């Protein structure tokens, strides 16, 4: 089997090495053909590695003296942080030394540096961030979820094409069902931008357009891909994550409140545990920056080991499915 090479922004995110290092070692144990370049402060990474056992022969350290702060402006990162752990990771991808990049760092900086260093696919007007939502049929892809606060009809149409290509690459499904997020399902509703985008998407025979959808359809079996601008998509994503965490917390509190509640929880624990796992946002961690001429995956800034591992796993899947070729073909 062909080798896989990932570059990991080891210092990015709220937890930095506490998440990126153990997650990298975990996935290396499971995928023999995988190698990982950890980009960051060599002294810190080496010290952290000394506390971990296991085979570290396929884990390589690439020194970076700087890091992009989580609250740093993308414009500042463009001017001053090309030699950061994030910038060096993206440069490795551009130079063909790795197959993909994973970072939990500053989203705006990752997108800005990605457009500069990795560059966009020739046909792409604006890249989009694509995230996974849990659904009855496994998952739903939503894009954009934060890269573009506003989007034109043509850009929404491209988001639909890229999202459809990604879903096909991940599942093998030849004609994913695409929906356009709106305030109602009727074709007369919504802004002029959304209605014009619907006409463009519907006119493309390569896309299986199912019309307008609403926020609740992220969890339904009605569509596989939901397209929106980054403002609406980010609100939907954060609302879904907050709801899932609320339900998980309430289940825990319920089982601690009363002896009868504890008994009920014990009887139904296998079902409760399965449900908590199904709605755990960490399972769906890893948002693809679609439209770049290379695979770049954005992990959640607060990712722990479990969440970062999920992002790494999604990245491996994207490389294996030749995602960039599929998106270019779809466009």
Residue identified by tokens 């639909």 is: 160
Instruction: Read off the pLDDT of residues 5-62 as tens digits, 9 standing for 90 and up.
Output: 999 999 999 999 999 999 999 999 999 999 999 999 999 999 999 888 767 889 999 9
Q: Which residues are within 8 A (CB) of 106 and not within 5 positions of it... i.e. 6 or more apart?
A: 12, 68, 69, 70, 71, 72, 74, 77, 86, 301
C-alpha to C-alpha distance for 90 and 211, rounded to whole angstroms: 37
Name the β-bridge partners of 103: 298
How many Å is the maximal CA-CA distance in the chain?
A: 63
Q: Are residues 145 and 268 in the same domain?
A: yes
Considering the domain architecture, whether residues 167 and 230 belong to the same structural domain is answered as: yes
Overall number of domains in the chain: 2
Could you give the CA distance from residue 313 to residue 316 in angstroms, rounded to a whole number? 5
Region 187-191: mean pLDDT is 82
| Burial class of 6 by CB neighbour count within 10 A (0 to 12, 13 to 18, 19+) | buried
Quick: pLDDT tens for 65-91.
999 999 899 999 999 998 999 999 999
Q: 160: pLDDT confidence band, cut at 50, 70 and 90? A: very high
Cα 241 to the chain's mean position, in Å? Answer: 13
What does the buried/exposed string (b/e) look like for 117-135 if buried means 16 or more CB atoms within 10 Å of the residue's CB?
Answer: bbeebeebebbbbbbbbbb
Q: Is the pLDDT of residue 281 over 80?
A: no
Kindly report the CATH number assigned to the domain that includes residue 242: 3.40.718.10
Question: Is residue 169 domain-shared with residue 269, that is, in the same domain?
Answer: yes
> Is 80 exceeded by the pLDDT of residue 105?
yes
- Same domain as 299, residue 321: yes
**236-277 pLDDT per residue, tens:** 888 877 776 777 676 667 666 666 666 665 655 565 565 555
Q: CB of 152 within 8 A of CB of 191?
A: no
**pLDDT score of 155 more than 90:** yes
Instruction: Give yes or no for residue 279 having a pLDDT over 60.
Output: no
98 and 175 both lie in a single domain:
no
Q: Is residue 286 part of a domain?
A: no
Q: Domain check: are 154 and 273 in the same one?
A: yes
Q: What are the counts of helices (DSSP H) followed by strands (DSSP E) for the chain? A: 12, 11
Q: Is residue 5 part of a domain?
A: yes
Q: Give percent of the chain above pLDDT 90.
A: 54
Q: How many CB atoms within 10 Å of residue 216?
A: 8
Q: Which domain holds residue 145?
A: 132-281
Taking the alpha carbons of 151, 156, 161, 166 in that order, is the dihedral positive or negative?
A: positive
pLDDT at 184 over 90: no
Using CA atoms, how far apart are residues 116 and 226, in angstroms rounded to an integer?
27
305 and 265 belong to one structural domain: no
């Amino acid at each position: 089997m062909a080798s896989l090479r990932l570059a990991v922004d080891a210092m990015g995110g709220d937890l930095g090495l506490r998440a990126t290092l153990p997650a990298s070692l975990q996935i290396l144990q499971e995928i023999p053909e995988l190698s990982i370049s950890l980009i960051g402060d060599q002294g810190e990474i080496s010290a952290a590695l000394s506390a971990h056992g296991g085979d570290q022969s396929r884990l390589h350290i690439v020194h970076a003296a700087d890091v992009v702060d989580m609250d740093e402006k993308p414009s500042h990162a463009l001017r001053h942080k090309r030699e950061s752990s994030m910038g060096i990771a993206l440069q490795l991808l551009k130079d063909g030394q790795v197959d993909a990049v994973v970072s939990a760092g500053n989203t705006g900086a990752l997108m800005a540096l990605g457009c500069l260093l990795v560059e966009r696919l020739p046909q792409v007007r604006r890249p989009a961030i694509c995230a996974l939502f849990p659904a009855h049929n496994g998952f739903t892809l939503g894009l954009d979820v934060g890269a573009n606060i506003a989007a034109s009809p043509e850009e929404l149409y491209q988001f639909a094409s890229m999202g459809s290509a990604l879903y096909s690459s991940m599942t093998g499904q030849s004609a994913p069902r695409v929906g356009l997020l709106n305030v109602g399902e009727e074709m007369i509703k919504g802004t002029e931008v959304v209605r014009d985008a619907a006409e463009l998407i519907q006119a493309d025979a390569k896309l299986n357009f199912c019309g307008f959808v609403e926020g609740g359809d992220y969890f339904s079996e009605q569509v596989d891909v939901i397209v929106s601008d980054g403002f609406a998509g980010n609100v939907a994503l954060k609302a879904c994550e907050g709801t899932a965490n609320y339900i998980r917390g309430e289940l825990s509190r319920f089982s601690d409140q009363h002896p009868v509640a504890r008994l009920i929880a014990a009887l139904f624990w296998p079902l409760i545990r399965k449900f908590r796992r199904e709605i755990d946002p960490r399972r769906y961690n890893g948002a693809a920056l679609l439209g770049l001429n290379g695979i770049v995956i954005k992990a959640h800034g607060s990712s722990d080991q479990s969440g970062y591992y999920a992002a790494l796993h999604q990245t491996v899947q994207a490389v294996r499915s030749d995602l960039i070729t599929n998106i270019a073909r779809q466009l």
